[in-house]
Copies of this chain bind each other. A is one copy, B any other.
């Protein structure tokens, strides 16, 4: 910066003023031009570490995740977070712990040393977590997870509304016997979506038939078997709501194998909106999207207001899961 000042024939302070467009001291246009010319001539570029040291602002947000950043599943949360951070001219420091506690600890230390102005703690699946206590040293928001006592702000998908939406879409197409193939592992998604399913049936005056609700491991192969059973029922369902898109793949196989057509004979709806699967299946799969991108955005948004010093109660933010219509219902 001194070199630039010398070349432009001004003081180093002046250079700082023109670079940062300081309003308090109006600098003549002519001087500005000289300074910028010198900057370009020298190829000078501010040093963010020096600036941060002085201003006590790192312009950095940290994101600690189990697998989010490195598995195909919820990766769009990162995009949402990144773009929001970017819009506030902050950078996102991302670290993947693979769920290992010691890595998580070190990652946290690293980020704290870098003086991140806020922390995102994200998980691949929506579930309860207990983050390391040091997370409270800076503003923090949970992404796709929550703590038992809700003492930390959290952004999660609205599972119940998602289940409701899927079921309602089917009902509106005239289906009355709607099967639901649910997950086996107890998690918010399992309970929420089931609740949404029941609620939708109730709202539309349809009976809840327990024989139509099955549980199986969330993979195509196990779902294949379950759906085959469902199709052999005397009064077989005309629509199947699958807990997720992977399971829908198995449902497709079972339905086609039974010589039935989708959606004419049996409609299928999924959950997750994994493009890779949903768009490639034939017919393309109608599904409910997990609003990952928006969740990432909202989380950073919240983090930014928090780190701006605003005092807010630990809001538990629930983001709706929209219907993505393709051709399977």
Contacts and interface: CB of A to CB of B under 8 A. Distances in A.
Contacts of A47: 53, 113, 115
Interface stretch (A27-35, A175-183, A195-203, A216-224): A216-224
Contact of A49 (B49, B219, B282): B49
A45 B282 contact: no
Contact of A45 (B46, B78, B86, B112): B112
A306 interface: no
Contacts of A73: 72
Main secondary structure of the interface of A (DSSP, over half): helix
A91 B111 CA distance: 9
B69 A58 contact: no
Contact of A276 (B72, B110, B250): B72
Contact of A48 (B71, B92, B114): B114
A106 to B, nearest CB: 8
Nearest to A89: B110
A274 B274 CA distance: 12
Nearest to A114: B48
Contact of A220 (B48, B76, B79, B282): B282
A86 B82 CA distance: 20
B91 A110 contact: yes
Contacts of A71: 75
Given A70-B76, A82-B70, A93-B91, A281 B220 contact: yes
Instruction: State which size class the interface on A falls in.
Output: 35 or more
A25 to B, nearest CB: 23
Between A47, A246, A274, the greatest number of chain B beta carbons within 10 A of the residue's beta carbon is seen for A47
A233 interface: no
Interface in A40-87: 45-50, 52-53, 58, 69-73, 75-76, 78-79, 82-83, 86
Contacts of A82: 69-70, 94-96
A221 B284 CA distance: 9
A316 to B, nearest CB: 26
A6 interface: no
Contacts of A220: 280-282
17 contacts: A47-B113, A47-B115, A49-B50, A49-B53, A49-B58, A69-B75, A69-B79, A72-B73, A82-B96, A83-B96, A91-B114, A92-B93, A92-B95, A94-B94, A250-B282, A256-B257, A277-B277
Interface of A: 45-50, 52-53, 58, 69-73, 75-76, 78-79, 82-83, 86, 89, 91-96, 103, 109-110, 112-115, 219-221, 224, 246, 249-250, 253, 256-257, 274-277, 279-282
